[in-house]
Structure 1
């Protein structure tokens, strides 16, 4: 849950053919095999701010069963306050817990705890490369953020890299780490061989998410700067605010900028299909699909609703939309086919926001 305004299941199927039941035997007395979290979808859930009830849910794609809080189930303790995101690297799950300022580590197959990384400052997103984990940290408001480099042999910070304000999502491409700085209008480019910033790209105001297409072009979605007046109504100042934009970057150069019409709206949740030929994003409380070859933003709505998080299944291109109606009640996930028709839905934990597919 952000502390300021920025851009930033259903029915179980029993496949029991060929199973025959006989009398009890010694096999019945064997302990249940450990649950492995494969062929499914991890869903991170923020939880209610300062309540410490953030969670990771798991949707099993084989039987459509949902486990709403697998870390609590496997370890008998909560993850912490505001579960922001999660990544899996070298068989381990790294869960970024924003307001608890830590990363919880678990075995990706069993979700049994495997350590933690502490001493972080408002961490947001992480990605692994070789024996390192890169983590974006806001640090504080109104100052430059950073990317911490975690040595995974010791689970300690080996280096910090200063980037722009409020760094958010990250993307690895050609041994470079791209970091969107949501508190300004830049993308920091980090050389992963030297772990130093080698370039800073200027994009639209408040970049929040990014994706790469089939031609290795980088796409950056920007929410636009929102400026609010003072008391008593704190109304949005449209004259001082800027509209969101979708920026296409070829190499280190901005090739095209698509500007949205509304200054009041904050587009977000950029995602890409498996073939890397179609972009998806939220804008004006709706969900849009856009070909990467398009010369203008789409005007036709793809799905008529807003999402608190979006994921595209790389195996099927099924669209997963997270829905948060309240931070005091469980959220849900709705699945859509490639035509935008709803398939089914699942109840998960409070405040679903991100997906990771296995």
Structure 2
């Protein structure tokens, strides 16, 4: 998602995932007849900033089948939220990170049936990454300018700690045994004009959950994407 446009009413980001070694894109069913959303593409529909329209769609690999609103349909039409910021995958679970309201809905990644919801210490939840027995969630509150990386235990989703960041916290990935945070982004003035907050990538040691290094980037533009420890796409601001 273009991180400058947090007020856009409709946005969608595509997350490709292959959960089967087979090239067969036909649907499988569980014992109770529930559809399995594998061998295809999951699409996170961000929704409107002021309306409860976030949802998730599925497209089969051969593009022949589309299912919309797979979260609501499989959870008694429960609304997902207003701003579905991102989706992360770990094992047989999908983590749906919603910026508004601040929550992470954890679902079975194949059936999208909800298992639990995490809300503890979230404040402008953005993106998620996994390392060992823990997961990491970036938070950026554009009103209070609070920026941090939250750490949670995968086993019981208990909150571990927050790691404060100087600049806006956006994308986060696990790479080369480290947690790498895009601690470069934008803030907003009173008229919601984008303002760069810094030009860094922050590296966290997942064994200690302490910042081990801050990498300074060229003092211009903003990071457009963070792929891994060695792949950081930067472009001019605007």
Range class of TM-score, shorter chain: 0.7 to 0.9
Distance 1:43 1:79 in 2: 14
The alpha carbon displacement at 1:34 in A equals: 1.5
Could you list the runs of 5+ residues in structure 2 that have no partner in the other structure? Answer: 9-23, 25-30, 186-196
Equivalent residue, structure 1, for 2:46: 46
User: SS of 1:168's equivalent?
Assistant: coil
Specify which of 213, 227, 232 is matched with residue 199 of structure 1.
213
Distance 1:79 1:196 in 2: 33
Equivalent residue, structure 2, for 1:210: 226
User: SS of 2:138's equivalent?
Assistant: strand
- Distance change (3 Å), C-alpha of 1:142 and 1:208: farther
Distance 1:115 1:168 in 2: 24
C-alpha RMSD of matched pairs (Å) = 2.2
Distance 2:41 2:60 in 1: 7
Equivalent residue, structure 2, for 1:335: none
Q: How does 1:320-331 map to 2 (within 5 A)?
A: none
**1:220 is aligned to 2:226:** no
56-65 or 113-122: bigger deviation: 56-65
Distance 1:63 1:46 in 2: 21
- Is the 1:94–1:105 Cα contact (8 Å) retained in structure 2? yes
Q: Provide the TM-score with structure 1 as the length reference.
A: 0.52
Equivalent residue, structure 1, for 2:189: none
Could you list the runs of 5+ residues in structure 1 that have no partner in the other structure? Answer: 5-14, 16-30, 224-243, 245-262, 266-358
- Is the 2:7–2:49 Cα contact (8 Å) retained in structure 1? no
- Is the 2:131–2:179 Cα contact (8 Å) retained in structure 1? no
**1:92 is aligned to 2:93:** yes
The alpha carbon displacement at 1:154 in A equals: 2.0
The alpha carbon displacement at 1:86 in A equals: 0.2
Distance 2:110 2:46 in 1: 22
Structure with the largest fraction of strand: 2
Residue deviations 1:210-249 (CA, integer Å, cap 9, x gap): 124xxxx6122234xxxxxxxxxxxxxxxxxxxx1xxxxx
The alpha carbon displacement at 1:142 in A equals: 6.4
Q: How many residue pairs get matched?
A: 197
User: SS of 1:167's equivalent?
Assistant: coil
Q: Provide the TM-score with structure 2 as the length reference.
A: 0.76
Q: How does 1:1-358 map to 2 (within 5 A)?
A: 2-3=6-7, 33-62=33-62, 64-75=64-75, 76-119=77-120, 120-141=122-143, 143-181=145-183, 182=185, 183-204=197-218, 205=220, 206-212=222-228, 218-223=230-235, 244=236, 265=238
